[in-house]
Amino acid sequence: MNKQKNHFLEQYEKKTSELESILSKDNELSTEDMRKAEEINVELKNLKDKIEFFHHSEKNLEVHKKYLYEPNDTMPIAAIAQKTGETILNGNGSYNEEGEGVLRWKTYSEISSNEYKSAFRNYIRKGEWGLSKTEYKSLQVGQDAEGGYLVPADMLGKIVEKDPSDAGLMNLVTNIQTSRDNLLIPRVDYYADDTYTNGMRATWTGENIENDLSHEVKHSKFQQVNIPVHTAMLSLRITNDMVEDASFPIQKWCVDKFRESIHMLYESSILAGTGSGQPEGILTAAGKTGGPSIMNLNEQNKISAEKLSQLAFSIPEQYLHKSKWIMNYNLTGYQLSLLKDGIGRSLWGEGFGDSGLEKSYYQRKLFGHPVHFSNHMPAHDKNKMSMIFGDLSGYYLVQRSGISIQVLREVEALKNRLVVVGRVRFGGKVVEPWKIKVGRANIENKEVDASKNVSK
């Protein structure tokens, strides 16, 4: 921090204490007290103007430096929230304790300051013992309740924001922020048909109104769906030589590695989380009460085009405009490419003259719906649920808070290494199972091995 700015801050704090001392007197203020209070108010205003000049100049400098060195930097978390439809502030611009929100606005502003960023960088390189008193004090605003410190806002944005061109599963499911350890969502459990949302019907009563009760609701009931929030830990070991090498961008490197791992964790949890100490994935919930139903895809030891068609037409029409296919590219996608019609043409084609070899399958639709390939989907091996179809907004991903990082220097000090530990908290569950169907293949087929060879 600039020495002159620090001096002004100290004077501002001192004058504020003097004014508070005068105004808190029990007796009536004397003329001298009022004169002194007025003088202090004038001094405070002058000091405030000087301090704000430094704040404004530092912010402008940061903007200029970012433009010069990082013109393609990612958005801060507030912009990410606006982009994805999530909210940090409520209607009147304050933090909503009970509703959605990742950080209090005050906390977000504090961890965005240059003082906090500088202190955090030194914490990563030197640990708490290497911080000055001013740096240690600046770092306290981002202290996590269970250890570690919040990542500065611009770095946090790099960790949690997906690239715009990456159609990851997080972009397809429903994202919710919570400030609690679990989230209760009320749900109307109505499964009598796919046309209505509840059992309420309008009926013609005729003349005997008092005897006709056919309009009464008999089938709807409410249920609370509980989505618990779980904690996942990530760790990264780096050498002290890497930290001490000023030319090595250690901070960005750590951020990129955490970002990569967290994205993979979200993807695998949405699909195959066990639900025990971690989110419950779509494949785990399939076939259970309150989970998506399962449809068989095989016929005569092969994936059947007819069964695939049945899966495509199993989703109620009101959810089709957002429906997508989820499968493994090298395994299930390969098997679908082998489906032929009676004269040997590929069924997964794009017209009469399409041989199936011209266009990448990454660009093709299946029954008119986009396909999302994920390596976290299993193969179409025996009894494996290898395909998902539907509107994935029926899966709710609940995130508790921002990502915190802690540096442990003593654990592997003898190996000339330090451990960077990250912590992320989220939960997930299928809340609207009627939007999603899961396809299962009961196949023992050696062609699966052939697909692996082809992918190589």
Q: Where are the domains of the chain?
A: 150-201+217-456
Segment (H or E) for 60: helix 31-69
Helices 153-160, 77-84: axis angle to 10 degrees equals 40
pLDDT at 429 exceeding the cut of 90: yes
Q: What dihedral do alpha carbons 22, 26, 27, 30 form, nearest 10°? A: 10
pLDDT reported for residue 390: 95
Q: What confidence score (pLDDT) does residue 389 get?
A: 96
Model pTM above 0.85: no
Report whether pLDDT(64) > 50: yes
Between β-strands 298-299 and 302-303, what pairing exists: parallel, antiparallel or unpaired? antiparallel
| pLDDT band, very low/low/confident/very high, at 453 (cuts 50, 70, 90) | very low
> 360 or 127, which is more confident?
127
Average of per-residue pLDDT across 428-438: 94
User: Is the pLDDT reported for residue 271 higher than 90?
Assistant: yes
pLDDT-derived band at 224, boundaries 50, 70, 90: confident
> Above 60 in pLDDT, residue 217?
no
pLDDT for residue 150 is more than 50: yes
Domain 150-201+217-456, CATH homologous superfamily name and number: Major capsid protein gp5 (3.30.2400.10)
pLDDT tens digit string along 35-54?
A: 888 888 888 888 888 888 88
Instruction: Give the pLDDT of residue 455.
Output: 37
Q: What is the DSSP letter of 128?
A: G
| Cβ contact 323:394 at 8 Å | no
pLDDT of residue 439: 92
Rg for the chain, CA atoms, rounded: 30
- 415 versus 202: the higher-pLDDT residue is 415
Q: How confident is the model at residue 94 (pLDDT cuts 50, 70, 90)?
A: very low
Name residues whose C-beta falls within 8 Å of residue 120's C-beta, 6 or more positions apart in sequence. 139, 142, 149, 151, 152
pLDDT of amino acid 356: 56
3-class DSSP state of 319: helix
Across the range 373-381, mean pLDDT stands at: 78
Chain segment 394-416, per-residue pLDDT in tens: 999 998 866 777 888 888 888 88
The predicted pLDDT at position 99 comes to 38
Q: Is the pLDDT of residue 353 over 60?
A: no
pLDDT digits (tens, 9 = 90+) for 277-318: 999 999 999 999 889 999 988 877 778 889 999 999 999 999
User: What does each C-alpha distance from 23 to 15, 27, 424 come to in angstroms?
Assistant: 12, 10, 46
Q: How confident is the model at residue 83, as a pLDDT? A: 33
Q: Which of 39, 1, 42 is nearest to 22 (CA)?
A: 39
Phi and psi (nearest 5°) for 220? -85, 140
What is the reported pLDDT for 313? 94
- State the virtual CA torsion across 368, 370, 374, 380 in degrees, nearest 10: 0
Asked if the model's pLDDT at residue 147 lies above 70, the reply is: no
Q: At 73, is the pLDDT very low, low, confident or very high (cuts 50, 70, 90)?
A: very low
pLDDT tens track for 18-39 = 888 888 887 788 888 888 888 8
Q: Report the distance separating Cα 409 and Cα 413, nearest Å.
A: 6
- What is the structure's pLDDT at 382? 56
Q: What percent of the chain stands above pLDDT 90?
A: 17
CB-CB contact of 5 with 54 (8 Å): yes
**pLDDT band (50, 70, 90) for residue 158:** very low
Gap between the Cα atoms of 264 and 375, Å rounded: 10
Q: How far apart are CA 295 and CA 292, in angstroms?
A: 10
State the pLDDT at residue 213: 57
Name which residue leads in pLDDT, 226 or 61. 226
Distance between CA atoms of 53 and 5, rounded to whole angstroms?
9
Say what the pLDDT of residue 249 is. 63
Task: Compute how many other C-beta atoms are within 10 angstroms of the C-beta atom of residue 199.
Answer: 15
Alpha-carbon span 120 to 276, nearest angstrom: 34
| Range of lowest pLDDT (199-208, 353-362, 447-456) | 447-456
- pLDDT tens track for 226-260: 899 999 998 888 887 777 664 456 766 777 777 78
> Using an 8 Å Cβ cutoff, are 400 and 181 in contact?
yes
Please give the average per-residue pLDDT across 153-182, as a whole number: 65
Q: Give the pLDDT confidence score for residue 90 in this predicted structure.
A: 40
